[in-house]
Amino acid sequence: MIENFKLTEELITFVKKYDSWETAIIESSKPLLDNGYVKQSYIDAMISSVKEYGPYIVIAPNIAMPHARPETGSIKVGFCVTVVEEPVAFSELPEHQARLLVSLSCVNAETHLKMLQALVEVLADEDKFNQILEATSKQQILDLFQ
């Protein structure tokens, strides 16, 4: 799927709800931090970007892709997947709510585009996307992203 990256169970989480979008970004990106994909500064930059530019990370209904500029602390290419039972509101508008957070770590523009392309292939498939939202195990998520 993406050069030198394999989605693993450590990079998948299931959560009932988050108290705020900031908490959602911090917590859903924690697997990237814990597994050496990003520095804390990168997660801080994700939050700053949304505060500055608005909810641009909500790329489609129910899908948010938190990310920041590589130079803010991306170490290696990867992403993590968080499925949230109750939608996270990134603004007051209903179209800015998301139940799937795919936090990205991109080291440059080229890998950013390749990763987005690979993810869009999976997430654009409505059946697969619904299966992701309904998944109850990490293995189900891994199977859908293979």
Its sign, for the CA torsion 109, 103, 40, 87, is positive
| Residues 84, 97: Cα–Cα separation, whole Å | 11
Residue 97: both structure tokens together: 């709510």
| Residues 60, 91: Cα–Cα separation, whole Å | 14
Catalytic residue, chosen from 21, 67, 70, 103, is 67
Residues 6+ apart with CB under 8 A from 77: 2, 3, 4, 5, 37, 105, 106, 107, 111, 115
Residue 112 is a catalytic residue: no
Mapped onto helix, strand or coil, the DSSP state of residue 55 is coil
Mapped onto helix, strand or coil, the DSSP state of residue 100 is strand
Question: Which residues carry out catalysis?
Answer: 67
